[in-house]
């Protein structure tokens, strides 16, 4: 066989691949997967489903027809969602209509750039160049943030809160607008929702034609998905696809329930063992990110019957102790000031709720009681104090530190920044529900258990917040400062 014949057959093969990929974004992903990911592709029914849904909205854009609906997709992490929607889909659109302009946004700059770089890597691959020789990037518009092809189409990467100055897209993709890796603050949610409300709608080439696609895991009751679902309830055209990792009543559309295997959406990526492990990390996060409903199916976060209550002698080298203060400042009204003493028994690994000091005191009386409690606890106990935001919170925190001169005291800035008691309580509740937290028998037990049993719908949340802060400190590794370990 001649060299010319070999070359001709190679060209024919590339044309065949291109033809198949142009007809199906699902086939496009399978064909070019290895160009950006070293691991073999693990297929599942949801991948083809999402591809078909993306194609439906995109083909109306290609035909310059009015948008029928925006697309909201809720699906668990680890399901190739970003690779499908943010990496492959914008490039597949160019194989159809190379003039398509796409804005892609995620919660942070590094993530947005990573997804953009992978999209760009597909186009620059030898295989893509061979299959689509007429799709080339412009040399003068070829960066990780923004790259443009020679036919006028481009992909622009931004992050939540970004101005997106001067850019208008035919397709707008929002991929995880809020960081799911840690506690989600009220400020983060407000910022993301304001960005989706006030910025993104103004970034459309045409209000009638541009489609917006948002894909994310649920994080909180007032997250961006909740915002869109409220818009849908008010009559805005939004199609909702919801794929919990386990079969629940939240599957949308309902007809997709038939694809679940033994009650699992993806039994290879997310088998029962993986889901159970994720549940142990925190049932609130599990309910939102994996079940796509930020309210745990069991209802309240704490299974208080899992506490083992008994007497205990504590202290010494086999214990780590922390007293966490959640401060309030109104006498006989409003929130309580609570100091939770918690210990970790190093031999067994058990956590113990050892003491609760609780009251509604004005500031001077509160500081007197905090110092008196520190003197009774002794200097082996680390004292942490939640510092509220603003200058007033800073001054109040500094006053408490001065009041506790001679003791090991830490201001908890993270607690103040998180702004969400439910998120903070999640890791603590996971250990309570697993039976890993015990309680010293005392007169305060009844009120403590009552608050936990109704949380997050309890009238007061201060004992939970103080307990969560103490647990967060004890569950971390010990920090060595100078000659001391905290």
d(CA 212, CA 136): 26
Residue 322: phi, psi to the nearest 5?
A: -145, 130
- Do 328 and 253 share a domain, yes or no? no
- Do 26 and 101 share a domain, yes or no? yes
User: Given the structure tokens 């006498």, which residue do they identify?
Assistant: 331
- Do 395 and 344 share a domain, yes or no? yes
Q: What is the pLDDT of residue 415?
A: 45
Banded pLDDT at 484 (limits 50, 70, 90): very low
85 in a structural domain: yes
- Do 190 and 317 share a domain, yes or no? no
293 in a structural domain: no
Q: Decide which of 215, 247, 270 is a domain's last residue.
A: 270
- Do 265 and 401 share a domain, yes or no? no
> For position 235, which CATH number holds?
3.40.50.300
Q: Decide which of 224, 250, 270 is a domain's last residue.
A: 270
Q: How many CA atoms lie within 13 A of 325 on its CB side?
A: 27
- Do 141 and 220 share a domain, yes or no? yes
- Do 313 and 251 share a domain, yes or no? no
d(CA 478, CA 276): 28
- Do 243 and 116 share a domain, yes or no? yes
Q: What is the pLDDT of residue 301?
A: 84
- Do 252 and 331 share a domain, yes or no? no
176 in a structural domain: yes
**Bridge partner list, 341:** 323, 355
- Do 314 and 259 share a domain, yes or no? no
288 in a structural domain: no
d(CA 199, CA 211): 15
**Bridge partner list, 214:** 72, 174
433 in a structural domain: yes
Banded pLDDT at 280 (limits 50, 70, 90): confident
Is the confidence at residue 419, as pLDDT, over 60? no
Q: Which of 162, 75, 86 is nearest to 117 (CA)?
A: 86
285 in a structural domain: no
Give the DSSP H/E element, type plus range, for residue 142: strand 137-142
Q: Look at 70-84, 407-421, 443-457 and tell me which has the smallest mean pLDDT.
A: 407-421
Which letter, b or e, does each residue of 241-265 get, where b requires 16 or more Cβ atoms within 10 Å of its Cβ? Answer: bbbbbbbbebbbeeebeeebeeebb
* Average pLDDT of the chain, as a whole number: 90
Give the DSSP H/E element, type plus range, for residue 154: strand 154-159
Is the confidence at residue 358, as pLDDT, over 90? yes
Domain around 99: 3-270
Q: If you write DSSP's letter for every residue of 299-326 in order, what string do you get?
A: SSS--GGG-EEE-----STTEEEEEEEE
pTM: 0.70
Residues 309 and 432 sit within 8 Å (Cβ to Cβ):
no
Q: What percent of the chain has pLDDT over 70?
A: 90
Q: What is the pLDDT of residue 199?
A: 94
192 in a structural domain: yes
116 in a structural domain: yes
Q: What is the pLDDT of residue 414?
A: 57
Banded pLDDT at 299 (limits 50, 70, 90): low
How many separate domains does the chain show? 2
- Do 258 and 318 share a domain, yes or no? no
Q: If you write DSSP's letter for every residue of 237-290 in order, what string do you get?
A: -EEEEEE-SB--TT-BSGGGGGG-BTTBS-TTTS-HHHHHHHHHH-HHHHHHHT
Q: How many CA atoms lie within 13 A of 465 on its CB side?
A: 25
- Do 120 and 257 share a domain, yes or no? yes
> For position 440, which CATH number holds?
3.30.420.280
């Amino acid at each position: 066989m001649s060299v010319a014949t070999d070359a001709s057959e190679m060209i024919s093969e590339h044309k065949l691949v291109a033809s198949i990929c142009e007809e199906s974004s699902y086939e496009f992903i399978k064909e070019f997967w290895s160009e950006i990911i070293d691991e073999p592709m693990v297929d599942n029914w949801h991948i083809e489903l999402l591809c078909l849904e993306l194609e439906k909205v995109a083909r109306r854009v290609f035909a310059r027809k009015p948008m029928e609906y925006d697309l909201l997709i809720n699906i668990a992490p680890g399901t190739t969602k970003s690779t499908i929607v943010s990496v492959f889909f914008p490039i597949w659109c160019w194989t159809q209509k190379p003039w398509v302009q796409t804005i892609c946004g995620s919660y942070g700059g590094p993530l947005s750039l990573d997804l953009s770089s992978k999209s760009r890597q597909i186009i620059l691959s030898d295989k893509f160049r061979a299959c689509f020789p007429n799709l080339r990037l412009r040399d003068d518009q070829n960066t990780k943030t923004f790259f443009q092809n020679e036919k006028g189409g481009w992909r622009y990467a931004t992050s939540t809160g970004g101005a997106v100055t001067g850019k208008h897209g035919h397709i707008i993709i929002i991929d995880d607008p809020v960081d799911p890796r840690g506690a989600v603050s009220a400020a983060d949610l407000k910022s993301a929702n304001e960005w989706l409300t006030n910025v993104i709608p103004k970034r459309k080439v045409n209000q009638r034609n541009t489609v917006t696609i948002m894909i994310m895991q649920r994080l909180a009751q007032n997250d961006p998905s909740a915002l869109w679902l409220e818009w849908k309830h008010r009559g805005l055209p939004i199609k909702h696809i919801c794929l919990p990792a386990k079969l629940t009543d939240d599957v949308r559309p309902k007809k997709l329930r038939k694809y679940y295997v033994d009650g699992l959406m993806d039994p290879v990526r997310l088998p029962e063992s993986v889901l159970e492990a994720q549940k142990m990390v925190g049932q609130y996060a599990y309910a939102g990110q994996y079940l796509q409903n930020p309210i745990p199916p069991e209802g309240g976060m704490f299974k208080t019957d899992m506490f083992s209550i008994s007497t205990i002698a504590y202290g010494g080298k086999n214990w780590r102790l922390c007293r966490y203060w959640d401060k309030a400042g109104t006498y006989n009204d409003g929130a309580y000031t609570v100091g939770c003493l918690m210990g970790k028994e190093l031999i067994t690994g058990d956590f113990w709720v050892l003491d609760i000091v609780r009251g509604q005191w004005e500031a001077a009386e509160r500081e007197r009681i905090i110092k008196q409690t520190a003197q009774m606890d002794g200097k082996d106990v680390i004292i942490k104090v939640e510092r509220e935001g603003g200058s007033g919170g800073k001054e109040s925190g500094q006053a408490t530190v001065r009041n506790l001169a001679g003791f090991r005291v830490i201001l908890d800035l993270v607690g103040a920044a998180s702004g969400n008691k439910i998120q903070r309580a999640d890791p603590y509740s996971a250990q309570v529900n697993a039976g890993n937290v015990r309680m010293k028998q005392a007169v305060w037990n009844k009120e403590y258990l009552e608050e936990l049993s109704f949380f997050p719908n309890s009238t007061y949340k201060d004992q939970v917040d103080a307990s969560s802060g103490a647990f967060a400190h004890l569950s971390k590794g010990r920090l060595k400062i100078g000659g001391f370990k905290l």
